[in-house]
Structures are given as C-alpha cells and as structure tokens.
Chain A
Amino acid sequence: LAKTTQPISMDSYEGQEVNITCSHNNIATNDYITWYQQFPSQGPRFIIQGYKTKVTNEVASLFIPADRKSSTLSLPRVSLSDTAVYYCLVGGLNNNNDMRFGAGTRLTVKP
C-alpha cells in the first residue's frame, strides 16, 4: 500500500492561494492520487483526482510531477469556509480498497 506524508497543519489568510504537498514515494504505476476535504462532524468529501501532470476543476488544481512521487493540491483564493482537514490518498483500480487515510493536513484560514 502506498504511504502518504503530509504536513500536519497549515495556516493561511483569506484570499491567499494555498498549496498542500503530499509525498508518496512508493506510488505504483496504476495508482491514482485522490484528495478529500473533511469539515468537523462530517464525512470526507471528494475534491479532485489525478494520475499525472495537472488536473483542474471548479474547486482546486492538482499538480503531479513526472516522477509522481509527490503531488500538490492548490486552493485558489481561500475563504474562511475552506478551514478543514485535507487528506491525500493513493490507490489503484484493483478489485480491493487499497486507499488509506492518513492524519491529513489541518488547514486554518484566518480573516
């Protein structure tokens, strides 16, 4: 199982761009990188998924270098409501559940 490492916490201010980097040195060839967001007292919510290069949706961008040993979640112009825990997971499309949630990154957005 691919292990991920993220910063435990980050602080930012409203309107800033936030970049959260995740390290996954033993990522397998068929693994995808998936990010989730979790607010207190709620279940995690899918943000974005990618395999290589760059993926962008209405919420975030995901940057993946060529060696795929890390990935960076970019949140443009954060607001107070982006305060949450962000999880990076890697897993394949095999017939199992090989994704594991680590402790995540607790992002605090300040006014």
Chain B
Amino acid sequence: NAGVTQTPKFQVLKTGQSMTLQCAQDMNHEYMSWYRQDPGMGLRLIHYSVGAGITDQGEVPNGYNVSRSTTEDFPLRLLSAAPSQTSVYFCASSPSGVAKNIQYFGAGTRLSVL
C-alpha cells in the first residue's frame, strides 16, 4: 500500500517562482490536509479539505492555494515563493467518522527558497 505520496521530496526555488507540491492518497480518505513544519517547531496547518470540491483555510494559508478535484489528489500551490516559505511540507489524510483525527502523513517535501 502506497498510503500518502508526496512529490517532490526536495525542491529549491528562487524568490518569486511558483510551484505545485503534489499529494496523492490511495486509501479513499475524505479528509486531506497540508502542514508546514519549521525547524524545531510543531506542524502548522495551511489548508485542508473535507472532500472533493471542498477546501478551507487553516492557521497559515497566506501565499498558498489548494484545490481538490478528486478524492485522491490534493495539490498545494505556492503562488510567488518567498524565503519565509522555506520549510518542510507534510500532506496528511484521514477517513471520516470516529477515525477522522487519525491522520496518515506523507514523507514530506523539503523546500528551500533562495
């Protein structure tokens, strides 16, 4: 089972560039989320989705866009990269119901913005 797959694993961008971080899950989970984790810190929620076609903002949504056209995929778009967006990005998914809070995380994307 692949679980939650994130690509790429590493990325270096120049300030002002845009890019999309990919996230796919094969568990038919309704909930998907994007987090960022800065060194020595906990995870902060960027955006989340409770199902295809539905997205909402988390704690730190500025500078990021998301869409959820299918149950499986939840890409995160950086509109105009800034050095403050240098971080590790994690995508997660979870089912609905009692297990909603049991999230499965991808391996992460390490992003550096120069």
Contact = CB atoms under 8 A, between A and B. Distances in A.
Interface of A: 32, 34, 36, 41-46, 49, 87, 89, 91, 93, 95-97, 99-104
A41 B108 contact: yes
B101 A104 contact: no
Given A97-B45, A97-B48, A101-B42, A49 B108 contact: no
Contacts of B101: 32, 34, 49, 89, 91, 93, 99
Nearest to A47: B102
Classify the interface of chain A: helix, strand, loop or mixed: loop
B44 interface: yes
Range, interface on chain B: 20 to 34
B2 interface: no
Contact of A43 (B59, B97, B102, B107): B107
Nearest to A89: B101
Given A34-B102, A41-B108, A95-B50, 18 more contacts: A32-B101, A36-B103, A42-B108, A43-B90, A43-B107, A44-B90, A45-B105, A46-B104, A87-B42, A87-B43, A91-B100, A93-B98, A96-B50, A97-B31, A100-B59, A101-B43, A101-B45, A104-B42
